[in-house]
């Protein structure tokens, strides 16, 4: 895991420990909290058109950034509790995705996106 | 943004571009996809006790790692589209959280966790 | 609660009891399961345009109906465990919404929908 | 569809029409909104133990009832837009579930609940 993420993970550990919050942070609870934070992010987009979502106002963009941060922070805590190396898992998943969606047969017309 | 995340972001850009998938990747759609991936992660925990969630079998832990990876990959793509520096946003959020939950008044008894 | 919903609730109770599943159905777990089912519903729409979502194929519409059913079934079980009369709660919420969004000041231009 | 749900559906139609909100209510958007409401419900349970979730205070139970109502109201609107009979879909799903989880082989030990 790289330096930036490692220092965030350490800061999250210290934060929870100082407040005696570790007792609440079971993986089950953290997965729920992650889900709630993602919904707070989605809420910003629910009534926008796709085009509007590409051109957020600056205040809205800042709110979305704060929600995205919450998502990352809970995701890091969940992975920390389960001893999962998130970057390594992401790299592996990109390889799996490359095999699942070969370039030639996956262009635009991909069933993934066009199954209405 | 650090090297590991930067190289993931670049890989995700190349992946989508090679498949002509960028047209589907509006922030609105990516926020929905993120939400769906988080639910696939939550699904692994929904019927477990908190204690069971702390002691996953190795195959289960590997499945959770793969879902956590999907969450990170969509989160990175969403932030990339909106020009959000996720690490910077997370650091700022930790400062905000430190002010919102001072150590002394936030120990275990915090309303955040004990409001039943 | 009306007859149709009452008979569904009774059928859900019998179903869980016959399988000794009540032990897993804490409100906390049912709320997670509800969240997972809603994501399976959302998954059908995540890459569609709004217009495509209004014109689903018949097989897709049937899949969405099955997911919507799952959402209702978990929602009914959650409310049953907490002794909540869902229809009564919905009627009350419509009254609250009517006061929160008066017709005159809430037409189309409502901040609810136009805050980009 | 029974009388109680039919009158709620009609009230929801009138409510949206009076405010000119139908333009925002594509099935895609309603599915996102449903997802956001379910997360607001889940939020009440995220840090509770399962046992605490079975014994909510009266104010908390009222808040959960209001969120459950929001979930039903968006679910009804989504089904209305797609011409889905929700009660009929739920009945069909119960039959499917009965075949998928036969009583004898699905008691407590069911893989559904014990796969850790």
User: Which chains reach chain A with 3 or more Cβ–Cβ distances below 8 angstroms?
Assistant: B, C, D
Q: Which chain B residues are closer than 8 Å to A87 by Cβ?
A: 4-5, 8
- Over range D58-77, report the average pLDDT: 98
CA atoms of D45 and D54, how far apart (whole Å): 10
CB contact under 8 A, A116 and C35: no
- For every residue of C2-48, DSSP letters joined together read -HHHHHHHHHHHHHHHHTT-GGG--HHHHHHHHHHHHHHHHHTTTTS
State residue A109's pLDDT score. Answer: 62
Q: Which pair of tokens denotes residue B66?
A: 């793969």
Task: Examine the pLDDT at B57 and tell me if it is beyond 70.
Answer: yes
State residue C110's pLDDT score. Answer: 64
Q: Which chain C residues are closer than 8 Å to B32 by Cβ?
A: 42, 45-46
Which pLDDT band, with edges at 50, 70 and 90, does D56 fall under?
Answer: very high
State residue D109's pLDDT score. Answer: 63
Q: Which chain B residues are closer than 8 Å to A78 by Cβ?
A: 41, 68
Higher pLDDT, B4 or D74: D74
Nearest CA distance, D70 vs chain A (angstrom)? 14
Closest residue, chain A, to C30 (C-alpha): A32
CB contact under 8 A, A46 and D29: yes
Q: Which chain A residues are closer than 8 Å to B29 by Cβ?
A: 50
CA atoms of A73 and A34, how far apart (whole Å): 9
State residue A106's pLDDT score. Answer: 80
**Most distant CA pair in chain B: distance in Å?**
53
CA atoms of B6 and B9, how far apart (whole Å): 5
Nearest to A39 by CA among D72, B38, B27: B38
Nearest to B63 by CA among A27, C26, A72: A27
Q: Which chain A residues are closer than 8 Å to D45 by Cβ?
A: 32
CA atoms of B31 and A45, how far apart (whole Å): 8
CA atoms of B106 and A18, how far apart (whole Å): 9
CA atoms of C37 and C91, how far apart (whole Å): 24
Closest residue, chain A, to C55 (C-alpha): A116
pLDDT digits 0-9 by tens, A55-114: 999 999 999 999 999 999 999 999 999 999 999 999 999 999 999 999 988 886 666 777
pLDDT digits 0-9 by tens, B97-112: 999 999 988 887 666 7
CB contact under 8 A, A116 and C56: yes
State residue A110's pLDDT score. Answer: 64
Q: Report yes or no: B43 and C33 within 8 Å, Cβ to Cβ.
A: no
Q: Report yes or no: C37 and C67 within 8 Å, Cβ to Cβ.
A: yes
Nearest CA distance, D28 vs chain A (angstrom)? 9
What does each of the 116 residues of chain C score in pLDDT, given as a tens digit?
557 899 999 999 999 999 999 999 999 999 999 999 999 999 999 999 999 999 999 999 999 999 999 999 999 999 999 999 999 999 999 999 999 999 988 887 666 777 76
CB contact under 8 A, C31 and D42: yes
Kind and range of the H or E run holding D73: helix D58-81
Closest residue, chain C, to B22 (C-alpha): C47
Lookup result for tokens 């075949």: D99
Q: Which chain A residues are closer than 8 Å to B32 by Cβ?
A: 42, 45
Return the beta strands (E) in chain B as ranges.
none
Which pLDDT band, with edges at 50, 70 and 90, does D51 fall under?
Answer: very high
CB contact under 8 A, A36 and D42: yes
pLDDT digits 0-9 by tens, B33-48: 999 999 999 999 999 9
Nearest CA distance, D13 vs chain A (angstrom)? 18
Nearest CA distance, C107 vs chain D (angstrom)? 4
State residue B109's pLDDT score. Answer: 63
Task: Examine the pLDDT at D1 and tell me if it is beyond 60.
Answer: no
CA atoms of C112 and A40, how far apart (whole Å): 15
Please tell me which of the candidates C32, C113, C116 has its beta carbon nearest to residue A56: C116
Q: Which chain C residues are closer than 8 Å to D56 by Cβ?
A: 27, 82
Chain centroid, CA D60 distance in Å: 19
Task: Examine the pLDDT at A27 and tell me if it is beyond 60.
Answer: yes
Q: What percent of chain D has pLDDT over 90?
A: 85
């Amino acid at each position: 895991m790289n330096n930036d993420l490692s220092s965030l993970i350490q800061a999250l550990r210290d934060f929870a420990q100082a407040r005696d919050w570790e007792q609440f942070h079971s993986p089950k609870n953290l997965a729920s909290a992650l889900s709630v934070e993602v919904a707070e992010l989605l809420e910003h987009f629910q009534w926008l058109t796709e085009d509007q979502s590409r051109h957020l106002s600056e205040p809205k963009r800042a709110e979305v950034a704060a929600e995205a941060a919450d998502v990352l922070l809970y995701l890091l805590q969940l992975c920390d509790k389960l001893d999962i190396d998130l970057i390594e898992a992401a790299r592996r998943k990109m390889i799996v995705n490359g095999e699942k969606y070969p370039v030639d047969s996956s262009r635009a017309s991909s069933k993934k996106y066009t199954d209405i």
